[in-house]
Structure 1
Amino acid sequence: MKKELDRKFKSKNIKPTAMRQLVLQILIEEKTAISLPELEQKFENADRATLYRTLKTFQENQLIHSIEDGTGSRKYALCEDFCTCEPEYLHIHFSCNKCGKTYCLKDSPIPQPDLPDGFEFSNANFVIKGICSNCKV
């Protein structure tokens, strides 16, 4: 795991502090997007501001992306190694109405809209809501 963390930090030019390593390890282990409050619960004595700054650094360096899934709490998920968070890498997310988990559907790109002349596309948020396979059982 340490080699994977180091590789990810190096590829995104991020200094690997102890807190950043711990947060990245959680993001790698999670199979769903995670909110700041959920991340806080995983650390007993971590400062909320430090966790927020860590997430902000990760996002600014395109290691993670944020998702507004309609729950009122922004969630964060690991980007693919090749991701630059440009429109061509944007993908659909799935938010479970039952458990509240949000999944990246990385194989489902957000369709590029046909915008009127003079309009410029910069970002999109596409969330499908329903029941995930874990909750459907």
Structure 2
Amino acid sequence: MEEKTCLDMLAKREIKPTAIRILVLQAMLRAERAVSLLDLENLLDTVDKSTLFRTVTLFLSHHLIHSIDDGTGSLKYAVCGDSCACAVEDLHTHFNCEYCHKTFCLEGIPTPVVELPKGFTLNSINYVLKGICPDCALKLKN
């Protein structure tokens, strides 16, 4: 089932399915959070760094994934929804846990749009909330 979903997702974004691309997408979907290139290297230790980088770059260019600068010094990547075109109106809030350092997409919380002065053009918004995720909050409570 998962491989068929990956094949459908790649086809929708007009990305030729290869074994590596399916493997990378499956790993990203299984993570259920945003992942860095280092996370992908650790999850897919048999895939070399340059192949992962090229795959992530391809996914970004076809809007299959989006990048997140969560302030940790390492870009994170998350799979986009079906209707996402990575336009400003598709953007959403992200949450970075200061305890486990994981970054999550908060799909239900839209990114606030700030009205810019005349002459400025908005292309992207990076809205990251920082705090403690529910799993870490439970660990810290006990």
Q: State TM-score, norm by structure 2.
A: 0.94
Q: For the residues of structure 2 that align with 1:52 and 1:103, how far apart are their CA atoms? A: 21
Q: For the residues of structure 2 that align with 1:122 and 1:60, how far apart are their CA atoms? A: 15
Pairs aligned (count): 137
**How far apart are residue 124 of structure 1 and its match?**
1.1
Q: For the residues of structure 2 that align with 1:63 and 1:134, how far apart are their CA atoms? A: 28
- Structure 1: gaps spanning 5 or more residues: none
- Runs (4 or more) in structure 1 with deviation over 6 Å come to none
How big is each residue's C-alpha offset from its partner over 1:86-124, in whole Å with a ceiling of 9 and x where there is no partner?
000011100000000000011111111111111111011
- Structure 2: gaps spanning 5 or more residues: none
Q: Which residue of 1 aligns with 2:57?
A: 56
Q: For the residues of structure 2 that align with 1:44 and 1:66, how far apart are their CA atoms? A: 22
**How far apart are residue 30 of structure 1 and its match?**
1.3
CA RMSD of aligned residues (A): 0.7
Identity fraction in percent: 46
Q: Which residue of 2 aligns with 1:80?
A: 81
Residue identity opposite 1:13 in structure 2? E
How big is each residue's C-alpha offset from its partner over 1:28-63, in whole Å with a ceiling of 9 and x where there is no partner?
111110000110011222110100000000010000
1:118 counterpart = 2:119:
yes
Residue identity opposite 1:52 in structure 2? F
> Mapping of 1:33-72 within 5 angstroms?
33-72=34-73
Q: Which residue of 2 aligns with 1:19?
A: 20
Q: Which residue of 2 aligns with 1:2?
A: 3
